[in-house]
Structure formats: C-alpha cells, structure tokens
Chains A and B, each alone.
Chain A
Amino acid sequence: MNIEVRQPARAQKTRYGIVDCDIHPKLLIEDYRRHLSNQWWSHLQTYGLRPRHGYTKAYPMPKITPQAARRDAWPPTGGMPGSDLGFLREQLLDLYDMDYGILNPLQPTAQGDQNPEFSAAMATAANEQQVDKWTAREKRLKASVVVPYEHPEASVAEIRRRAGSKDFAQVFMLSRTSEAHGRRRYWPIYQAAVEAGLPVGIHVFGYAGWPLTNSGWPSFYIEEMTEHATGQQAVVASMIFEGLFEQYRDLKVVLIESGFGWLPALGWRLDKHWERMRDEVPHVKRPPSEYIREHFWVSTQPMEEAEDPEHVLDAMRWIGFDRILFASDYPHWDFDDPVLALPPSLTEEQRRAIYSGNAKKLYGLA
C-alpha cells in the first residue's frame, strides 16, 4: 500500500525563487505526428528509434523503476510521468514555489540516432512540441534546443531557428556522443550556441556506440549511473585539451545530472599532466582547472552525499559556489527534493546562489 506522506505545502520558510535546472518532460510519440513529414513519420512507425544499442523497446540496463520514474509521478489522469503539465505544476512548480524550470527532454528525441537525417527531423519536432505543449502554456518553463549532434549542420540550423526566442534557455546535448565533445566535428554547434547567446547543456545518457567503460560493458544499472560521471570526465578533458575554450571564449557549458564530486580531482589531474605534457597540446594556453572554473557549471542532482557532509562542502568550495545550479531531475526516481537536498550548513548567500541566482544569471532569467 502506498501512503502519501508528503505535506501539501513544501515551500521553505525563506522564499528562494528556485530555478530547477533539470526537469524531464515526456514527449509522446503520437505528438510527433504533426511535426514530422510523412516520410519521417512512416520511418518512425516502421523502423522505430535506432539508438546505438541492441534493443527496440528495452534499455540495455533495465531501470530500477518503470520509466526510471518516482512511483508517485504517474499522473492520475493517466499517461506517462512528466507528460501532464497540470500534474507537473502540482507536484513541482507550485509545490516548491519555483520561479523557473528548465526542460530537458530525453527519448524519444532521437539524439544520437544511427540515422542522422531522422535525428534532425526528430529534433525539430521535439523543439516544436516543447513550445506547443509546455512553454507556451507555462511561462515558468523554459525549453532546451534539442540538437541532432551527430549531424552538426542540421544542429546549427536548429540553433539558429530558435535563437532569440524567449522560450529556449540552452542548447541541449547528451554526454555520450560518437566522438568526444571537444572534437572538431562538433565545433559548429558551439559556435552557433555562442552566437545565439545560449549555454550548452550536456545531460548524461545517450548511446555513443562505445562501451560505457574503457574496459567494455558493465553489467548493472548501478554501474551505468556511476559511469555517467566518468563519461562527463571525458567530456571535460576533451573540450579542454582540444583547445575549444581558446576558440570560443564565451562558451558556457552546463554539466547536468552528473553530480559534481568528481570535478575538483579531475581539474587537479588535468593540471598536473598538462604541466608535464603541454608540448603535445600547445593550443591549451592555461592550466585546465582555469578553463573549468571559467566555462563550466554543474547541476546538483544527484546531490552528492558523503559520510561526512562537510566533505561535500569542500568539493563545492573547490568548484565555486557561483558555478553550482539546483536541479531536481523530476520526475525520475532519484529526484532531489528542494527542501532537503542541499547541505544544511550552507550560508544563506550560498543557498540563494545555488537555488536561484546562479541559474538566473547564466540563463538570463529575470
């Protein structure tokens, strides 16, 4: 038996004007119909999504709950978790008295699909749906520009199509791309993002076509989740060592749903070995940790939990309190409750920055 233990009002005593930087709206296959050509709709019906793994319906690592969702996030009206705006308002935006939420749609967006032209058509359709079904109806929500990143030209076109629109807050990529994010093939995407004044959000997941570890495929969902952090480590290292931030000095990157405990040690490691081998990467002009400090933001969820909570504060200090963004990951099972997620010993100023101020500044939200 499920017992509702949640109190109806979750707003904190102090109002922070929370910005939730990771909300997952569920886009529905049937809603793609009116945004796809007959050819691509037929393709989708006949051949389906073809991510770079072996299943047509299942995930290679079964999730720990259906749809990886909170058990209470299935809308009473029916449908999938994250598919009902009214219920999302009730469970999230209103309950926590949020100022804004950033939408980060996952499948079926066809990002990283084996067919890049199909991926491009699906990305456009996903962006149309975000506006139609979400941001046009709820001004607190901002969409992310889904780009078919394995098709850089189409990605650029998609970013230009959305540039200047108040509905979109960032360009949206997944962490598992077929080449590391710093490689030249993706540079047009970053250039278009900078021109549009949009940060690039890199959310964990996707299927690269490569094993999840550099020792091949692991067995368990727990490993898939821990490997999201190792994947983001490769993302950061690649972007820095390819010299991306020397080329695009205004580029801002948000690492979403990868936690942040790993980031300081990565910076120290890259610095140490860059110092020794910088002759190999002469285009990298400064210690890697300086690029991290200037160009990267991290979202909080899944909030780091150390045995000694003070250790998490050390990591936050090493990253910089101005670079950390609150995220709930609604409606997923590992949702972080805004009231409980942040360490209690943060100062009031730090809480304001993480809950709200940093994101408003980064995304240009009033």
Chain B
Amino acid sequence: MTITAIDCDVHPTCTGNDILLPYLDTYWRDSVEERGMGSLESAAYPPNAPITARPDFRGPNGYAATDAAQVTRQVCDRWGASHAILNCLYGVQLIYNEDIARAFARALNDWITKEWLDRDPRLRASIVIPMQNVEYAVDEIERCAPDKRFVQVLVLAMQETPLGRRHHWPIFAAAEKHGLPLGIHAGSNYRNPVTSLGWPTSYVEDYTSQAQGFQSQVASLITEGVFAKYPKLKVVLIESGVTWLPGFLWRFSKFWRGARTEVPWVDRSPSEIVRDNFRLTIQPFDSPSDPHDVERIVEHLRSDDMLLFSSDFPHWQFDGDERIPKGIPDGLRHKILVENPLATYDRLNGASLRESAS
C-alpha cells in the first residue's frame, strides 16, 4: 500500500471521564465518582454546536468519532487517507488543579494508545500535555515519546501566557530532541478572555477569534527567540483558518525591521522563519468565494511547502467530500496530501510508516 494522503487533523472524541476510568489510578477513579467529576469537555467545542461534528457524522447519542473504526471508515476508507493523526481535544488542559491535569493527560494518552493506535495501524497521535506545569508536561513527552506512533506534541492556541515565553522552553527542548513538531490547535484553556477586549457575547465570536490566538503565538514564539535556540523545532498551526497568515507577516516583518534592536536574537525576517519552521493544516480554509482569489492567497504564502492536508473530521468545516478547498492549484495537491506532511513529521518517515502501511 502506498502513501496516498496523510490526514493531519482528526479528532477522536472522549465523551467523559468514565471512558478514562480504566487508565486512572485508584485515587483518581475514586475522585471521579465521589466528587461527581463527569466530563472535562471544553467550551471551545460545545458538544451540540455545528462546528463540533457534522450532522451526518453524529451517532445516535449525538457524538461523532467515538471509536477508531468510525474514524478510519470515514477518513481512510472513504476519503483515502493512508494515515491519520489524532488530535484529542478533551479539556484536560483547562483544569486548574495541576495534579488532575497530569493524571488525566496520562490517562488520555494511554486511552489513545490502547483504544485507537493499537486498533488500527493507519492511526498516529499527538501527545496531550498538561501545560499547567511545565515539568509535568516534559515528563509526559518523555513518557510517550518512545512510542513512535506519537508524532507530535499538542497544545492549544490560547494559553495562560504566550507560548514563546521562556518558562515554556523545556517543552520545546523535549519536542526538538524527539523529533516531535509542536502542534498548536485551536482552543483555549480560558485563563484569558478569548479577545483582547474581553469575553464576547456569541460562540461564533469565540470560534472566529481563534485566528487572533494563532497570530499572537507566531509573534511570541519568534520574538522570544525560540527558533534561535531550537532551530530544528517545527510548529504546525492546526485548524487556524490559514489565510490570516500573509497579511499578519507583512505587519510582523515590518515591525521587526523597524524595532529589531529590541530582539537582537531574531537575526532574519519573521517571514523567513515562518517559511522554514511553521506549517498549517488546510481545514478550515477561510477562503474568498472566487477560486482565482483562493489561488492568489495561496501565492501570498510564497512557499509550496507550508500546507498540510487535514479533514478536521468530525468538525463541520465542509460538506460532502470537498476536503480540499476549491481553488487550491492542482499542482500543489500531492505536496499537500503527502510530501509536506512527510517533510514535517519526522516520525512519519522511514520504516515504521512504510511497514504499517503495507
């Protein structure tokens, strides 16, 4: 079997803490019961909101993507992905108690391993880390990294402090050491309002403001000097909307030119650093209605290497089977589907992938 497409953003759904009980120790199992800790589902994706699951993907209980077979049937069998990367968005990153965060992040990664990765060789996953405590986050990377089916470290777009801040750097050191990109996915731990003007009225404002979060993280990671320290670190912006990037870089690179004495460790233009170190998944693709304009905005990225295929299953980003946005040039399809993901995820290369795919 050849590598036909690598779906870089698929969401396995954890419907509640009862799912994780077998992966928690006695103390936390008891706590779940005695304290009535039912669910850590995040407000970033309200279970019944349209974005959270396309209607035709939902099962009788309203949930979608609750087991490996459901996911592979859609993304692999129907949409032809030879491999899919699971990004679990269960809200263990939101809880204030860092002991809970550690225990539930571990349980989540173990659940992913046993109930997903072990059940289908086409699946890969991201390591969910408890950002509440950097030491615990690094421990979790170290614990999961020996399993090469974990191909990325997953964090949310909106954090307690900007990601580039130096206290996060041990996470980047561990990720770089193990050849794991840092995947930044839409979502928030809700330590800060989702806009810089406070809490919005509507959920649609919350969701659309994710794009602002990505802009801030790109600025933070670069200005703080992360790529001077960890030049091999790759960052994947997942479910970001994509088309905000060129205009953002015009502005960012201009201010860097004007005020770069403030950050002397940034010794080349942010636009160049982004082209070298950042990648973006293609769903959602916030596109103009005219396909010619889509082609133009793709040109504005000034690189054929940046876009990675994703269906964002089961999120409702497109109807039918239109997973590649209209207007993306045909000449880029193979790059987006196969070559760019392989160049981004070191662990998708080599024997492990080819064996599992055969």
Of all A-B residue pairs in the complex, the 4 with the closest CB atoms, nearest first, are A261-B247, A213-B216, A234-B195, A269-B286
Mind listing 10 A-B residue pairs with CB under 8 Å? A213-B213, A220-B262, A222-B255, A229-B248, A231-B197, A269-B241, A273-B284, A305-B253, A315-B247, A318-B293
Complex CA distance for A225 and B13, rounded to whole angstroms: 38
Q: Mark A202-243, 1 if CB is under 8 A from B, else 0.
A: 000000101111111111111101110111011101100110
Complex CA distance for A43 and B128, rounded to whole angstroms: 52
Interface pair B286/A268, CB less than 8 Å apart:
yes
- Of B80-88, B115-123, B153-161, B230-238, the one touching chain A: B153-161
| B42 CB within 8 Å of chain A | no
Interface pair B258/A220, CB less than 8 Å apart:
no
Chain A residues closer than 8 Å to B299, beta-carbon distance: 311
Interface pair B250/A312, CB less than 8 Å apart:
yes
Complex CA distance for A230 and B194, rounded to whole angstroms: 11
Please give me the residue from chain A that is nearest to B210 by CB atom: A214
Q: How large is the interface on B (under 10, 10 to 19, 20 to 34, 35 or more residues)?
A: 35 or more
Q: Mark B183-196, 1 if CB is under 8 A from A, else 0.
A: 00000100111111
With A265-B241, A276-B51 given, is the CB distance from A225 to B204 under 8 Å? no
Complex CA distance for A22 and B312, rounded to whole angstroms: 43
- Contact among A177, A215, A219 with B197 in the assembled complex (CB-CB below 8 Å): A177
| B104 CB within 8 Å of chain A | no
Interface pair B246/A219, CB less than 8 Å apart:
no
- Of B26-34, B217-225, B337-345, B347-355, the one touching chain A: B217-225
| B100 CB within 8 Å of chain A | no
| A178 CB within 8 Å of chain B | yes
| A72 CB within 8 Å of chain B | no
Chain B residues closer than 8 Å to A181, beta-carbon distance: 197
Interface pair A262/B208, CB less than 8 Å apart:
no
| Nearest Cβ on chain B to A360's Cβ, whole angstroms | 27
Please give me the residue from chain B that is nearest to A306 by CB atom: B250
| A176 CB within 8 Å of chain B | yes
Complex CA distance for A334 and B299, rounded to whole angstroms: 28
Chain B residues closer than 8 Å to A270, beta-carbon distance: 208
B binding-site residues for A, Cβ under 8 Å: 49-51, 157-165, 188, 191-198, 200-205, 207-209, 211-213, 215-217, 219-220, 223-224, 241, 243-244, 246-248, 250-256, 258-263, 271, 284, 286-288, 293, 296-297, 299-300, 302, 316
- Contact among B213, B244, B253, B255 with A215 in the assembled complex (CB-CB below 8 Å): B213
Please give me the residue from chain A that is nearest to B211 by CB atom: A269
Q: Mark A255-292, 1 if CB is under 8 A from B, else 0.
A: 00001011111101110111011001100000000000
A binding-site residues for B, Cβ under 8 Å: 64, 176-183, 208, 210-223, 225-227, 229-231, 233-235, 237-238, 241-242, 259, 261-266, 268-270, 272-274, 276-277, 280-281, 302, 304-308, 311-312, 314-315, 318, 333-334
With A226-B255, A231-B196 given, is the CB distance from A215 to B161 under 8 Å? yes
Interface pair B224/A311, CB less than 8 Å apart:
no
Chain A residues closer than 8 Å to B198, beta-carbon distance: 178-180, 208, 210
- Contact among A219, A227, A272, A314 with B196 in the assembled complex (CB-CB below 8 Å): A227
Complex CA distance for A305 and B212, rounded to whole angstroms: 20
Chain B residues closer than 8 Å to A217, beta-carbon distance: 161-162
Interface pair B259/A276, CB less than 8 Å apart:
no
Between B216, B243, B252, the greatest number of chain A beta carbons within 10 A of the residue's beta carbon is seen for B216
Interface pair A304/B208, CB less than 8 Å apart:
no
Interface pair B161/A280, CB less than 8 Å apart:
no
Please give me the residue from chain A that is nearest to B224 by CB atom: A219
Complex CA distance for A123 and B307, rounded to whole angstroms: 49
Chain A residues closer than 8 Å to B165, beta-carbon distance: 219
Chain A residues closer than 8 Å to B212, beta-carbon distance: 213-214, 230, 233-234
| Nearest Cβ on chain B to A40's Cβ, whole angstroms | 27
Complex CA distance for A2 and B205, rounded to whole angstroms: 49
- Contact among B196, B250, B263, B284 with A214 in the assembled complex (CB-CB below 8 Å): B196
A178-B197, A241-B201, A280-B203 known; 13 new pairs, CB 8 Å cut-off, are: A208-B197, A210-B195, A212-B196, A213-B192, A213-B212, A218-B162, A223-B219, A231-B197, A241-B200, A265-B211, A266-B211, A277-B207, A308-B302
Complex CA distance for A176 and B164, rounded to whole angstroms: 23
Complex CA distance for A210 and B198, rounded to whole angstroms: 6
| Nearest Cβ on chain A to B13's Cβ, whole angstroms | 19
| Nearest Cβ on chain A to B12's Cβ, whole angstroms | 22
Chain B residues closer than 8 Å to A237, beta-carbon distance: 195, 200, 205, 208-209
Chain A residues closer than 8 Å to B217, beta-carbon distance: 215
With A222-B219, A269-B241 given, is the CB distance from A304 to B204 under 8 Å? no
Interface pair A220/B263, CB less than 8 Å apart:
yes
Please give me the residue from chain B that is nearest to A312 by CB atom: B250
- Contact among B207, B211, B223, B250 with A304 in the assembled complex (CB-CB below 8 Å): B250
Interface pair A215/B159, CB less than 8 Å apart:
yes
Chain A residues closer than 8 Å to B255, beta-carbon distance: 222, 225-226, 302, 334
Interface pair B251/A226, CB less than 8 Å apart:
yes
Chain B residues closer than 8 Å to A216, beta-carbon distance: 159-162, 191-192
Chain A residues closer than 8 Å to B160, beta-carbon distance: 215-216
Interface pair A227/B262, CB less than 8 Å apart:
no
Interface pair B197/A222, CB less than 8 Å apart:
no
Please give me the residue from chain B that is nearest to A223 by CB atom: B219
